[in-house]
């Protein structure tokens, strides 16, 4: 079985690479943005002609949530046009596409976990482009999985955990928002879930939610990150209003995981437990 991973240098791409050796039945090809630029259809097609993938995991994306507000064309080109080209090439090659999406497709006005059937209503450019990326894939591809996830972190790339640890090494006190509620996702757990879907060989295509289990605020997450890593710092909870950002974030974005658990028997770790398994 041949699995191609685009965006291989990102945190999800690196997380898949970190566990690839545990799947001897899979021949992996990891393509960074210089090897496959997903906004270049010819580039994608040439790579597919060489490796003929059975599955393509699209870990490539424009992920700069705030910057997207000032460069919407770039975000659109990667998250929508890139998704469209991948879906078209996957269809031509009869390749199953696994595409990653986000809790930011929702406005966060609910107070119970979002299911795959809930109505998206993004509040910013990033979420809007991720939603439109989902929609083009659904229109074009027949064999696709769209996995929505949230608050992704890992030992790889840039993420909240690494920012917190860096800031703690530079400052004595930190303020973190306590009124945005969601669930962290360890990128290696997400990588395992994607490979569990692939190795199941099932054909239950569609949209699925995946994150770790449990609920917390960014403040709770930061507190636990410091506790697990033995960092002492004065940490203060603040409201979102005290930390304005160019992009509005959902207030509540917990994802309901019952569909992925029922269909693929994927059971996620609690977010606290997952944090203990990160190898820094
Ligand atoms: N991070 C989160 O908190 C979060 C939350 C929910 C959902 N997600 C979704 O999860 C997925 C993986 O996120 P991540 O955190 O691993 O992102 P990431 O670390 O930012 O990695 C994204 C990768 O995409 C690559 N890329 C950008 N433009 C490209 C292009 N035109 N062609 C090919 N590759 C390109 C980047 O390449 P360079 O190395 O050249 O920059 C980077 O390596 C994304 O779909 C994201 O939307 C993330």
Is the pLDDT reported for residue 199 higher than 90?
yes
What share of the chain in percent tops pLDDT 90? Answer: 99
Q: What average pLDDT does the structure give for the chain?
A: 97
Would you call 230 helix, strand, or coil by DSSP? coil
- Burial readout 166-185 (b: 16 or more C-beta within 10 A, e: otherwise): eebeeeeebebbbebbbbbb
- State the Cα–Cα distance between residues 197 and 192, nearest whole angstrom: 9
- For residue 88 the two structure tokens come to 């078209």
Mean pLDDT score, 142-152: 98
Alpha-carbon separation of residue 280 from 195, 196, 277 (angstroms): 23, 25, 9
With a 6 Å cutoff on the Cβ, whether 68 touches ligand 1 is no
Which residue is catalytic, options 62, 126, 145, 208?
Answer: 126
| CA 10 / ligand 1 centre spacing (Å) | 5
Mean pLDDT score, 218-231: 97
Q: What atom of ligand 1 comes closest to residue 82's alpha carbon? A: 31
User: What would the pLDDT profile of 38-94 be if each residue is shown by its tens digit?
Assistant: 999 999 999 999 999 999 999 999 999 999 999 999 999 999 999 999 999 999 999
Binned at pLDDT 50, 70 and 90, residue 165 comes out as very high
| CA 130 / ligand 1 centre spacing (Å) | 11
Q: Which of 81-85, 102-106, 256-260, 275-279 has the lowest mean pLDDT?
A: 275-279
Q: What atom of ligand 1 comes closest to residue 64's alpha carbon? A: 20
The fold adopted by the segment(s) 2-159+183-213+254-269 is: Rossmann fold (3.40.50)
DSSP characters over 3-35: EEEESTTSHHHHHHHHHGGG-TT-EEEEE-TTT
For a ligand 1 pocket test, name from 61, 102, 120, 134 the mutation site with the most ligand atoms within 8 angstroms of its C-beta: 61
Mean pLDDT score, 225-233: 96
- State the Cα–Cα distance between residues 184 and 49, nearest whole angstrom: 37
For a ligand 1 pocket test, name from 33, 58, 124 the mutation site with the most ligand atoms within 8 angstroms of its C-beta: 33
Nearest CA to ligand 1 atom 2: 152
Predicted pLDDT at 106: 98
Nearest CA to ligand 1 atom 13: 12
With a 6 Å cutoff on the Cβ, whether 59 touches ligand 1 is yes
Predicted pLDDT at 118: 98
DSSP characters over 189-201: HHHHHHHHHHHHT
Instruction: Tell me the pairing of strands 144-149 and 216-217.
Output: unpaired
| CA 20 / ligand 1 centre spacing (Å) | 19
- Which run of H or of E encompasses 85? helix 82-93
| Known catalytic membership, residue 126 | yes
- For residue 215 the two structure tokens come to 């609920």
Mean pLDDT score, 129-138: 98
Residue 102 neighbours by CB distance under 10 Å: 27
Question: Tokens 């303020």 belong to which residue?
Answer: 175
Binned at pLDDT 50, 70 and 90, residue 279 comes out as confident
- State the Cα–Cα distance between residues 178 and 135, nearest whole angstrom: 32
Residues whose CB falls within 8 Å of the CB of residue 201, separated by 6 or more in sequence, listed in order: none
Domain spans of the chain, in order of start: 2-159+183-213+254-269
Instruction: Tell me the pairing of strands 144-149 and 185-186.
Output: unpaired
Predicted pLDDT at 280: 77
Q: What atom of ligand 1 comes closest to residue 13's alpha carbon? A: 16
- Identify whether the C-beta of residue 89 lies closer than 8 Å to the C-beta of residue 50: no
For a ligand 1 pocket test, name from 8, 44, 60, 158 the mutation site with the most ligand atoms within 8 angstroms of its C-beta: 60
- State the Cα–Cα distance between residues 227 and 256, nearest whole angstrom: 27
């Amino acid at each position: 079985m041949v699995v191609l991973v685009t965006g291989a240098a990102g945190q999800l791409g690196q997380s898949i690479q970190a566990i690839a050796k545990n799947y001897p039945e899979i021949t992996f090809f990891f393509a960074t943005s210089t090897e496959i630029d997903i906004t270049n259809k010819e580039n994608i097609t040439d790579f597919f002609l060489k490796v003929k993938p059975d599955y393509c995991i699209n870990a490539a994306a424009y992920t700069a949530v705030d910057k997207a507000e000032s460069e919407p064309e770039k975000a659109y080109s990667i998250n929508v046009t890139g998704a469209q080209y991948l879906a078209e090439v996957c269809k031509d090659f009869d390749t199953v596409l696994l595409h990653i999406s986000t809790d930011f497709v929702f406005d966060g006005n609910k107070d119970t976990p979002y299911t795959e059937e809930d109505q998206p209503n993004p509040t910013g450019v990033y979420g809007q482009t991720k939603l439109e990326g989902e929609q083009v894939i659904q229109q074009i591809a027949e064999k696709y999985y769209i996995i929505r996830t949230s608050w992704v972190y890992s030992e790889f790339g840039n993420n909240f955990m690494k920012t917190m640890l860096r800031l703690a090494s530079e400052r004595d006190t930190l303020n973190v928002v306590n009124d945005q509620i969601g669930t962290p996702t360890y990128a290696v757990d997400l990588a395992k879930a994607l490979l569990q879907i692939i190795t199941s060989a099932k054909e239950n295509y569609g949209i699925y939610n995946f994150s770790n289990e449990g609920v917390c605020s960014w403040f709770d997450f930061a507190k636990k990150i410091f506790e697990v890593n033995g960092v002492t710092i004065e940490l203060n909870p603040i409201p979102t209003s005290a930390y304005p950002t160019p992009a509005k974030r959902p207030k509540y974005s917990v994802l309901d995981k019952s569909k992925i658990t029922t269909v693929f028997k994927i059971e996620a770790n609690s977010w606290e437990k997952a944090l203990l398994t990160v190898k820094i």
